[in-house]
Structure 1
């Protein structure tokens, strides 16, 4: 899969020209950046060349693709992995198969697919991709759900499944609970009988946000300031202390969440929105102690586990493990069909309005994910 991704990236480097696709039709268009910088300034809508269809390739008409924080970081040049420039933006999305190469057997024209590899450039109207980087999506999965499935929902699913053996009645605490991943965590946990304590930043429309997250299945929604207040004890009268914390922020938010973990609990970090380090809190004073526990001693006496997670790395590690990928996708499809997992709050935006979409996605306290309609 990694070799196939490299091949696609090489194709993405072709300078934008009038497209001539695998079948006669209008030129492909896409959002291309030739240098790193401020996304609204460096991204341009261009005609793109569509690669010739190979025997193991699939010609895809893209339908919808979200603007995720990682997409913004890629364009800014600050993300962990960067495509060669010039590059088409976007890391996930859903498309419809137009044509397949003669060796492609698992897909046919009319099928819907999502891309399972980063940096393939999903902000385009059409493209040719190797079959092995595409995952089929049932036709009864709504377009917006499919467009946001491969990163946010999969990240939430794996973090809930892979780090602690959670059972119905257990609890999880997370910050950035209103993010795409956070909303998926709430819904997947609810479907499994797991309680969620959801931390968000204080804001002007906080009551509206709380109402929306509770409607998704959140058990508790609190602000970062509340993490430090004695009222937290009231939550734990009916909800067990969490065994798992999910961190997308860093800094003080992380430190305060760790204070509420059970001994031997695990915190998984999958983002760093605050651009501040993860700090282990000092322990509580104990009887006879001369002072607070040092961070090292907090590790000793609480036995906390700090882990990191990156969905892209999980996919690389499981590139040959089709059963794990299939079982995860099937579980997510079942949740969607049952009405227990929906797309994050989002705003569909026509491709030509991409600059406004980029600007809106970068605003503080953004409450709706921008989805490009392609």
Structure 2
């Protein structure tokens, strides 16, 4: 449940309950000018549908800062496919309406409640889970709903850390015991997840075979992915050609295949798995089902799995140390220059219509990032 408004109770601005006499209470509400609640600007939707039609930039009242709450100023928030699907009403989880869009982003703490222990003013934080509504200028959030990051991270990296790099990290860690020299094959290699997979794998000494669609600027894109650490970059058509035999003379067949496309592309990935390897599906950009050849199951004993980072976070919501360890490792890679943010187009919140239009184009080359 993602409440947009909360019931106002009598609190000090620091968030702790205060005691007021009857005379004092009368005095509080006897001013000639009405009390006005602080507000923020937010991209709000009251029904599901086409984001360009149902999203509106509005003034929204902020609730008081409770004893265990923090007031944050949003700094930047990306537009992800899951955000679009949530507004359309087609995602696996949906917030109560009305709701503020956005599930990812980075914010700075500007005020803390008197019982907050893990955060202080000035800290950078990101949501622990989906549904907080990040497309707004400020928010009052529970201390337990956010987790801190080093404030010296690049803004773009911090704003896009919570979904794609975490997805890449977990898929590289949780399905096969990958060692330096092993190989991973993936489609959608130019996506946010794909780029994070390339960089995290390179830091671990793992080969990546990266599949992308043919395009006029293929050579430039291939060079960019190799500069990130990609071992091989190939076109989808190459998966069905004899040249793959030459490729596997330079690195072993893949233990792990990562599928963000579906359809024939996923089926072709399976052909290049080792015996007993795993294919993990985390997306379906082609909007086509995954077909698994019977021979792959019988004669190669492949494993076909799925992954959703939101479910992982919820399954491990009580395991703060594991979540913290993942973020610390990702932040270390960022600070060492081994993990960079995907290409982003920075757009002001007031210009959200243009950002939405760009984000909804198929196979976009740059992530749209709302700057508050």
TM-score for the superposition, normalised by structure 1: 0.90
- Structure 2 counterpart of 1:329, from 320, 327, 330: 327
1:12 CA displacement: 5.3
Structure 2 residue 288 is matched with structure 1 residue 279: no
Q: C-alpha offsets along residues 219-262 of structure 1, whole Å, 9 cap, x if unaligned?
A: 11112111111111121010110000001111000000000000
1:208-223 matched pairs, under 5 angstroms: 208-223=220-235
Cα pair 1:152 1:180 within 8 Å, conserved: yes
Aligned to 1:371: 369
Aligned to 1:310: 308
Gaps of 5+ in 2: 8-12, 16-35
Cα pair 1:12 1:87 within 8 Å, conserved: no
Q: Distance in 1 between matches of 2:46 and 2:37?
A: 26
Structure 2 residue 89 is matched with structure 1 residue 77: yes
Q: C-alpha offsets along residues 241-284 of structure 1, whole Å, 9 cap, x if unaligned?
A: 00000011110000000000001000011111111111113xxx
- Structure 2 counterpart of 1:298, from 296, 302, 309: 296
1:151-162 matched pairs, under 5 angstroms: 151-162=163-174
Q: C-alpha offsets along residues 125-144 of structure 1, whole Å, 9 cap, x if unaligned?
A: 00011111111011111111
Q: Distance in 2 between matches of 1:231 and 1:318?
A: 42
Structure 2 residue 182 is matched with structure 1 residue 170: yes
- Structure 2 counterpart of 1:353, from 329, 351, 354: 351
Q: Runs of at least 4 residues of structure 1 off by over 6 A?
A: 21-26
Aligned to 1:150: 162
Structure 2 residue 148 is matched with structure 1 residue 136: yes
1:73 CA displacement: 0.8
Range with bigger deviation, 80-89 or 197-206: 197-206
- Structure 1 counterpart of 2:43, from 21, 31, 49: 31
Aligned to 1:319: 317
Distance 1:12 1:119, change over 3 A: farther
Cα pair 1:245 1:257 within 8 Å, conserved: yes
Aligned to 2:342: 344
Q: Indicate the structure (1 or 2) with the bigger Cα radius of gyration.
A: 2
Q: C-alpha offsets along residues 147-172 of structure 1, whole Å, 9 cap, x if unaligned?
A: 00010111100000000000111010
Distance 1:218 1:119, change over 3 A: same
Distance 1:22 1:208, change over 3 A: farther
How many residues are treated as equivalent by the alignment? 347
Aligned to 1:257: 269
Cα pair 2:3 2:99 within 8 Å, conserved: no
Aligned to 2:21: none
Q: C-alpha offsets along residues 97-149 of structure 1, whole Å, 9 cap, x if unaligned?
A: 01111110111111110111101100000001111111101111111111000
Q: C-alpha offsets along residues 10-57 of structure 1, whole Å, 9 cap, x if unaligned?
A: 23599xxxxxx9899973001111121221222111111212211111
Q: Distance in 2 between matches of 1:201 and 1:191?
A: 25
- SS where residue 49 of structure 2 aligns? coil
1:204 CA displacement: 2.5
- SS where residue 360 of structure 1 aligns? helix
Aligned to 1:91: 103
Aligned to 2:33: none
1:298 CA displacement: 2.9
Cα pair 2:349 2:371 within 8 Å, conserved: yes
